[in-house]
Amino acid sequence: MRFPAKTLSLAVASALVVFGCGKEAPPPPPPKAEQPPAPPPKPTLTVKIGHSAPLTGPQAHLGKDNENGARLAIEEANAKKLEIGGAMVTFEMIPEDDQADPKQGTTVAQKLIDAKVSGVVGHLNSGTTIPASKLYSDAGIPQISPSATNPKYTQQGFKTAFRVMANDEQQGKVLGDYATKQLAGKKIAIVDDRTAYGQGVADEFEKAAKAGGAAIVAREFTNDKATDFAAILTKIKSKKPDLVMYGGMDAQAGPMAQQLKKLGVKSKMIFADGGCTTEFHKLAGDAAEGHYCSLPGYPLDKMPGGKVFMEKYKAKFNVDIQLYAPYAYDAANVMIDAMKRANSVEPAKYLAELPKTAFDGVTAKITFDERGDVKDGAITLYQAKGGKWETLETIGGAAPAPAQPAAMSGMGAMTAAPAQPAAMGGMSGMTAAPTPAAAPAAAPAAPAEKK
């Protein structure tokens, strides 16, 4: 062997020394929630909540938006000076950057687990959420994703995995039904951006549209970094569709709308949450007029607390909401709410409360089905008019409930009493969820027939 054994052993030895000396202060012991209710000076407790999203790279703007949403929820909770398990609780957010890279996603997850977080809000992408969810599940740490829409995430059978956003199946189906029924689309062109999200929504849309009797006249593709769509749009133009469905984000939907207009195509576009942003209007300019989009949940301005949230967000971060901030805000609040009801910040204890969530969020009244998917499958459709998204209608779900601050404590009392059954499946019966109105999307989506 030509290996310089001496040098290497020295290098390794010195590396060991460095690591040995570089020992950081040991992480604080796991938060002890059930300390005896000590008299006068109430013990204080810092609860760490992890957040993970891409903060660098092409999706950085969305990642920061998520982080801001979660941060707002946490700061509000801190301002309320909550008392959980007899201790004054301060929440501390640990924001991480996973670069939308699955490998970074698991590294970040491990870092959050090491930091002994009580729960995680995130990740943003399905590609990072799925591999990370296994680590959280092994560590018993609840995870609520505000924006990962791949159905697989909650189908893995992890008790710790939740999301407050309709999955691709739920949303694609509503969108497809709407396109064929309300918009009477007979010839539809579909474009997707070949990301997990775009392809997922587009495929579900295609199924629903075909079931609704529409013909798919073109199935075209682009990618999530593209700016030029002239070639595929020219092809689509030659097929004369009634509607053009796009599965992807606003950064592509905006320029696409402009290029459609330049080519003289009169057909309107329809897309899911990824394009349903104020950014779309900025990027599409006057070409935005008349296009359709959908967002899970109810319109923010119609929800109790929604307007306030928008104002607070704008005031605090001095930027517009990009997309998923309200969902991240809800996700963090759902987590804190479960801690309050469980009267504990320990993952094992409040995890049992999460499936019973019935939380009035800013996007919807959030309840979970047995998988951890959001149960109230309300999805709202919008149309671009005069540079804004105007609400058309909300499909599925119960009517938005007025805010009931009093109901919160009552619920806590109710759920605190019975001993917690371990199985999550049995919980759905206990959920005081409003029965969803007869609507296609309300029922938890059946598992996709795997090809």
CB of 152 or CB of 186, closer to another protein = 152
φ/ψ (deg, to 5) at 407: -60, -25
Minimum gap (Å) between residue 215 Cβ and another protein: 14
Minimum Å gap between C-beta 187 and another protein is 16
CA gap 285, 295 in Å, rounded: 21
Contacts of 381 (CB under 8 A, 6+ apart): 178, 292, 293, 294, 391, 392, 393, 394, 395
Choose between 12 and 423: whose C-beta lies nearer to another protein: 12
d(CA 333, CA 328): 8
- In this structure, what is the dihedral angle of CA atoms 326, 328, 333, 335, given to the nearest 10 degrees? 160
Q: Are strands 292-296 and 268-271 parallel, antiparallel or unpaired?
A: parallel
Residues within window 204-263 making contact with another protein, judged by CB under 8 A? 219-222, 225-228, 230-232, 234-235, 237-238, 250-251, 254-255, 258, 262-263
Q: How far is the CB of 304 from another protein (least distance, A)?
A: 29
Interface with another protein in residues 265-324 (CB under 8 A): 279, 282-283, 285-286, 319, 322
Site for another protein in 316-355 (CB under 8 A): 319, 322
Nearer to another protein, 61 or 210 (CB): 61
**CA separation for the pair 382, 384 (Å, rounded):** 7
Distance in Å, CB of 92 to another protein, minimum: 13
**In whole angstroms, what is the distance from residue 433 CA to residue 61 CA?**
34
Cα→Cα distances 2→6, 11, 12, 13, Å: 11, 16, 17, 20
Residues 38-97 that bind another protein (CB under 8 A): 55-58, 60-61, 63-64, 96-97
Of the pair 133, 333, the CB lying nearest another protein is at 133
Cβ distance to another protein smaller for residue 149 or 394: 149
**What gap in Å lies between CA 127 and CA 103, rounded to an integer?**
9
Q: Which of residues 372-431 bind another protein (CB under 8 A)?
A: none
Least distance from another protein to the Cβ atom of residue 108, Å = 8
Torsion of CA 260, 223, 385, 164, to 10 degrees: 160
Measured from the CB of residue 320, what is the shortest distance to another protein in angstroms? Answer: 9
Choices 3-11, 298-306, 343-351, 386-394; region in contact with another protein by CB under 8 A = 3-11
Please report how close the Cβ of residue 111 comes to another protein at its closest, in angstroms: 4
Q: Which is nearer to another protein, 135 or 345 (CB)?
A: 135
Toward another protein, which CB reaches closer, 42 or 240?
240
Of 7-15, 71-79, 140-148, 327-335, the segment contacting another protein by CB under 8 A is 7-15
CB of 272 to another protein, least distance (A): 15
> How many alpha carbons fall within 13 Å on the CB side of residue 77?
30
φ, ψ (nearest 5 deg) of residue 380 = -105, 140
Distance, CA of 324 to CA of 321 (rounded, Å): 8
As measured in angstroms, the least distance from the Cβ of 290 to another protein is 17
CB nearer to another protein: pick between 10 and 308: 10
Q: Give the range of 125-133, 169-177, 408-416, 431-439 binding another protein by CB under 8 A.
A: 125-133
Map the footprint of another protein across residues 95-114, applying CB under 8 A.
96-97, 100-103, 106-107, 110-111, 113-114
Minimum distance from CB of 194 to another protein (Å)? 6
Contacts of another protein in 159-188 (CB under 8 A)? none
DSSP string, 55-89: -SSTTHHHHHHHHHHHHHHHHHHHHTT-EETTEEE
Residue 199, Cβ neighbours under 10 Å: how many? Answer: 17
- Determine whether 333 is exposed, middle or buried from the number of CB atoms within 10 Å of its CB (0-12, 13-18, 19+): buried
CA distance 133 to 140: 10
At 129, phi and psi to the nearest 5?
Answer: -65, -40
Choices 18-26, 80-88, 392-400, 436-444 (CB under 8 A): range interacting with another protein: 18-26
CB of residue 60 vs another protein: minimum separation in angstroms?
Answer: 4
Q: Is 123 a residue that touches another protein (CB under 8 A)?
A: no
Residue 366 host element (H or E): strand 365-366
Among 22, 39, 402, 429, binds another protein (CB under 8 A): 22
Tell the smallest beta-carbon distance from residue 259 to another protein (Å): 8
Nearer to another protein by Cβ, of 238 and 409: the residue is 238
Number of residues that bind another protein (CB under 8 A): 85
How far are the Cα atoms of 409, 431, 439 from residue 434, in angstroms, in the given order? 18, 9, 13
Query: Looking at beta carbons only, is 22 or 418 nearer to another protein?
Result: 22
